[in-house]
Amino acid sequence: MSDVIRLLPESIASQIAAGEVVTSPAAAVKELLENSIDAGATSIQLEVTDGGKASIHVLDNGCGMSPVDARMAFEKHATSKIRQADDLYKLHTMGFRGEALAAISAISQVELRTRQADSELGTELILSGSNVVSTNPCVVPVGTSMKVKDLFFNVPARRRFLRADKEEFKLIKREFINVALVNPSIAMSLYRDGQLVQELPASSLKERILSVAGRSFEEKLLPLHYTNTMVDVTGFVSSPIAAVKTRYQQYMFVNGRYMRHPSFQRAVEQAFEGLIPEGAHPNFFIYLTVPAENIDVNVSPTKTDIRFVDEGLIWTILKQLVRETLSANVAVPVINFDAEHTIDLPAYTGRKAVMDEEAASWETTPSVGSGASYARRVFMGRGAGGASLGESFGGSSRASSLQASSFDLDWARLSESFERAKPAESESLFVEPDVIPSSSPDNSELLSVGHMLYKGRYIVTSLRRNLVLIDLRRAHERIIYEQLLLEMQEGRIEVAQLMYPEELECSLEEASALEELVEDLDTLGFALEPTADRVYTLRQSPTSVATQAIDLIRGVLHHCLDTGQCGRDFLLRSLALSMAETLAKTATTVLDNQAVEDLLARLFASTDPNLSPRGRTIILSLTEAEIDNRFA
Ligand code: ADP
Ligand code: MG
């Protein structure tokens, strides 16, 4: 039998390796931006074409490269950031591997123009799939211009898997923002297909955050500061009133680079417990600095997941720091913070001692007066304005507090419910499909004989020969949801001009999501007009939800950003669902027998009477036999 194993040609091997480092245009953008920062640039311009697929162009005014360095930079393991073995560990921890440019050039066409301050002429280097096409002296400003064209041109399988331009652009913008938020002193601009998308002048950190996250945070950022030998924490948390329904404005950075750290994120969220309604999330921009040898960034290929040596202690510090910042800044008495139960921020006395102290103080915090009632005061107390994220929970100025308090969408679960339209593990109490028909029932069989309302929420009645409990609110949700969906699809939504047009101020990301949705929103009755940079005015809304329109729209935007879905169908369903939930909460529970029968008839005419639009059980049923059994 002949041998079958062959060594891959070097060019193919390096393409494969490259695919692991550069997984998308956004990954290339991240590497290029970081190189510019490492080169000491004070100004960086990023231009992308066709979602980065056609070209990514990064221009900086950093130190530039000599002609030899320019050529060397594209060799594997070429880096100027390590000189001796001592640096090696640091190299590992910071994620410098000297392979980004080698990887990028293996799978694209690169045009590099660069000059150092002490040379009169610069260098132009053109490469195609790692091969030098030409190198020439050229006249260029000091700094580096790196243009990466036709990413994956020689790896068609990979190229096919790239997302649509706008999806890739979204990821690129994320990287841009992640870099911008940590380098406020660097002027940065972003162009998409020749158009300026974002211009960020050099500024203070707070100013940078505001220009990225939106001016609505202006009065709502609380500064954080803490230092000890292990960790240095700075940054901002938003005050509780600015809480939103998603986590997409929760940023953490370590040693000048963006990181994902779900456990630290939770520490901050826990510090907000009792101060914001359930399902709401704080926004934060937190910057950690730790000795380089105390972290490992090479946990994930993208280097965004970081492992810390002192994870537990930093967790405690973060939570405590945020708690104290909140208690110092929130004017209303904060119930969970009486002095005898708060601890001083730990000095480094050993992890165990600190954790014990922590447990004692956090877990025994009394709940008198309850955080929930405080949250309600905060959220219900601010009616007018309606422009801020947090105030969305208080509803607009014309929303009754009843409606407002019950308006609480769970966007995170929304997408799940669309996927998971199956009932939970059916126990004996759940309706079996053959017991209750899923549509077009034989009404004579269904007619109930009287009913009672249990706890103001469950209709208790009989259907066929079963005893059933029907969750009234969920039944309403199902009915209203389908009705709204139909009306929207057919363009029959009743709309009203708003007497007081409301403003919707968007963050950079919200604004780009809104741009994609604005036309569809318009056809659904939400008339939004751009009135200033990233500010829209709502002049018309569907009548039934006019008082919550801004909240609904913002909720949809966040859901869109969270899930990466957009599209008209998605929009219809999200809106119909949230509108249905809002309306169902205020629907009457005073029902006579006729009303109950009408309700049941409509429920059973829906596409899925057994499940709410979110996939929750509407009907519980006990068969005759089951009842007899229990009395046996
Ligand atoms: P690393 O950043 O890990 O060192 P890269 O492959 O990203 O590896 O870059 C290789 C080298 O090329 C860098 O160490 C640096 O010397 C040089 N380089 C890359 N980009 C720039 C830039 N924009 N300005 C100056 N030098 C650069
Ligand atoms: Mg690099």
Expressed in angstroms and rounded, the spacing between residue 164 Cα and the centre of ligand 2 is 26
Distance CA 446, CA 436 (A): 9
Q: How large is the average pLDDT for residues 532-559? A: 88
Distance CA 581, CA 616 (A): 13
Most confident among 110-119, 244-253, 380-389, 486-495 (mean pLDDT): 110-119
Ligand 1: atom nearest CA of 64 is: 25
> Do 40 and 94 contact (CB within 8 A), yes or no?
no
Expressed in angstroms and rounded, the spacing between residue 95 Cα and the centre of ligand 2 is 9
Per-residue pLDDT reduced to its tens digit, 500-516? 888 999 988 888 889 88
Pocket residue to mutate for ligand 1, from 88, 101, 111, 186, most atoms within 8 A of Cβ: 101
Q: Does 14 score more than 50 pLDDT?
A: yes
Q: Which ligand is nearest to the CA of 40?
A: 1
What letter does residue 597 receive in the DSSP assignment?
Answer: H
Per-residue pLDDT reduced to its tens digit, 72-121? 999 876 677 655 555 555 544 444 566 889 989 999 999 999 999 999 99
Per-residue pLDDT reduced to its tens digit, 428-478? 233 333 333 333 344 444 444 578 888 888 888 887 778 889 999 999 999
Q: Which region holds residue 539: left if phi is over 0, alpha if psi is between -120 and 50, else beta? A: alpha
pLDDT at 556: 86
The one-letter code for the residue type at 49 is T
Distance CA 71, CA 104 (A): 14
Expressed in angstroms and rounded, the spacing between residue 102 Cα and the centre of ligand 1 is 10
Q: How confident is the model at residue 498 (pLDDT cuts 50, 70, 90)?
A: confident
pLDDT at 113: 98
Expressed in angstroms and rounded, the spacing between residue 195 Cα and the centre of ligand 2 is 27
Q: Confirm or reject: Cβ of 79 under 6 Å from ligand 1.
A: yes
Most confident among 245-254, 351-360, 367-376, 380-389 (mean pLDDT): 245-254
Expressed in angstroms and rounded, the spacing between residue 83 Cα and the centre of ligand 1 is 14
> Do 383 and 377 contact (CB within 8 A), yes or no?
no
Ligand 1: atom nearest CA of 97 is: 3
Q: Confirm or reject: Cβ of 97 under 6 Å from ligand 1.
A: yes
Q: Confirm or reject: Cβ of 65 under 6 Å from ligand 1.
A: yes
Distance CA 200, CA 186 (A): 8
Q: Whose CA is nearest to atom 8 of ligand 1?
A: 98
Pocket residue to mutate for ligand 1, from 14, 31, 35, 91, most atoms within 8 A of Cβ: 35
All residues at 6 or more sequence positions from 318 whose CB lies less than 8 Å from its CB, including other chains: 233, 264, 267, 268, 271, 286
Q: Confirm or reject: Cβ of 101 under 6 Å from ligand 1.
A: yes
What letter does residue 281 receive in the DSSP assignment?
Answer: B
Expressed in angstroms and rounded, the spacing between residue 140 Cα and the centre of ligand 1 is 18
Calculate the alpha carbon distances from 38 to 197, 255, 286, 392 in Å.
24, 13, 21, 41
> Do 292 and 94 contact (CB within 8 A), yes or no?
yes
Q: Which ligand is nearest to the CA of 87?
A: 1
Expressed in angstroms and rounded, the spacing between residue 58 Cα and the centre of ligand 1 is 13
Q: Which ligand is nearest to the CA of 117?
A: 1
Q: Does 254 score more than 90 pLDDT?
A: yes
Expressed in angstroms and rounded, the spacing between residue 33 Cα and the centre of ligand 2 is 8
Q: What is the pTM of this model?
A: 0.57
